[in-house]
Structure 1
Amino acid sequence: MAERPTTSWRHGIAEEAQELAAGTLDPDCACMAKLFPEKLLTATDAVLDTFEGELPGLGRASDEQVFAVVERIVLALNAVDEAHNGGAFETGEREELCDYIDESLTEHGVDVVALTARHGLGRYQLTDRWRKW
């Protein structure tokens, strides 16, 4: 099952907190909690919850239906990013979110390579039409 990016982000926060508590990390080098405040994690998880609820049956859906689901998650993530002054998702986070979307669709029977090819897109252009983050 595709792992949510928020899971690894939370893990990073917890790891950093342990290192700070143990004195093995200089507080000036700690950044995870600042990069991923709980409000951002909660909002992102809410978007991912909705997306995951739409996944069952997509392997039998039309291209238009799959693209509609992708559009909805991307627009919702755009709103999360905008609520955090356009700085919620940096390059690494963008890649994790896009990989998560791709892997989740694939796990539910969507051939992402074939889907994007039918529409003149490369696999990694699946979210580009709507993505602002």
Structure 2
Amino acid sequence: MTLQNLFHQKPTKLWNERMIEGGDELFTEERLLKSDQALDTYLHQLIALQETQDSERMMKAVEEVVVAFNEMNEANGYFIETMEREELADFIDKAARLAGLDIHEDEDITEEWREW
């Protein structure tokens, strides 16, 4: 598994499926697009940092994507609920690990900044 593979495994894919199949009203095309853009930016940052293994800058990228989702969630009617929170936090964590960030197994790297 590489970071590039994660572009096709973003939680927004699941969210889109739930929106289409189940009529899930938490999601809109706009929310999904903004979420995709935030995750793409995050992945691109990690790819750029992967070779340097700069853990400080990797954690800054984590902070930035978490804060972006805090702002999106607040501005869009709090669309991140329990299942989405778990999927999103797992994705952010998995990407950081793949980039080489040394994280303790039971550590939630989003918790410090997460409001969702």
Normalised-by-shorter TM-score class: 0.7 to 0.9
CA-to-aligned-CA distance 1:8-47 (integer Å, 9 cap, x gap)? 111223333xxxxxxxxxxxxxx41x11111111111111
TM-score normalised by length of structure 2: 0.82
* Map of 2:75 onto structure 1: 83
Aligned equivalent of 2:15, options 9, 23, 38: 9
Q: How many residues align?
A: 109
Point out where structure 1 has 5 or more consecutive residues left out of the alignment: 17-30, 115-121
Query: Does 1:96 pair with 2:87?
Result: yes
The CA RMSD measured in Å over matched residues stands at: 1.8
Please give the residue correspondences for 1:1-133 in structure 2 after superposition, counting only pairs within 5 Å: 1-2=5-6, 3-16=9-22, 31-32=23-24, 34-56=25-47, 57-58=49-50, 60-85=52-77, 87-113=78-104, 122-124=106-108, 126-133=109-116
* TM superposition outliers: structure 1 runs of 4+ over 6 Å: none
TM-score normalised by length of structure 1: 0.73
Tell whether the 8 Å contact from 2:53 to 2:100 is kept in structure 1 after alignment: no
CA–CA distance in 2 between the matches of 1:104 and 1:59?
Answer: 14
Instruction: Indicate the structure (1 or 2) with the bigger Cα radius of gyration.
Output: 1
Point out where structure 2 has 5 or more consecutive residues left out of the alignment: none
